[in-house]
A = this chain, B = another copy of it.
Amino acid sequence: MSTPAEDDLLLERQLCFALTVASRSVVGIYKPVLERMGLTHPQYLVMLALWERSPRTLKDISDALLHEPATLSPILRRLEEAGLLTRERVPGNERALAVTLTEAGAALREQATAVPGTIMERLGLSREEVAELHAAMTGLIAATQRPAPATLPG
């Protein structure tokens, strides 16, 4: 027999609880490391996207980070205030916003190269263990994006 559904409401058994705690805890590990670069964690993710390609439109960054443009707007505004990027309309399509790294923004990548190693060491995880956890998360994300199973007719 399987585990009784009786205990399904125990806090310590909730995946959603473990997941939110893990997310907050891991981001908390990044915090002191990123602070030296003057970045918050969401700002760091935006910079990662721009270090891969610049300029990019807000829409493009929004798709890459799986964030609403409304969430990214204030983050980009702060990064612009910090002098790491510029925001200007795309010539020929005034609806789109072109986000471009400044020299300072591009230069910050140097410091960032040390971050992943620092975090792995801090967590005491090997590259392989990180890859396994990453794969597990990717699978879970895929599960959330699958269409909901059809409900039985009531």
Contact = CB atoms under 8 A, between A and B. Distances in A.
Interface residues of A, number: 62
Task: Say whether chain A's binding surface is mostly helix, strand, loop, or mixed.
Answer: helix
Contact of A27 (B20, B109, B136): B20
Nearest to A28: B144
B123 A143 contact: yes
Given A122-B148, A137-B18, A141-B25, A9 B48 contact: yes
A16 B52 CA distance: 17
B9 A144 contact: no
Interface string A1-32: 01101001111011111111111111111100
A22 B19 contact: yes
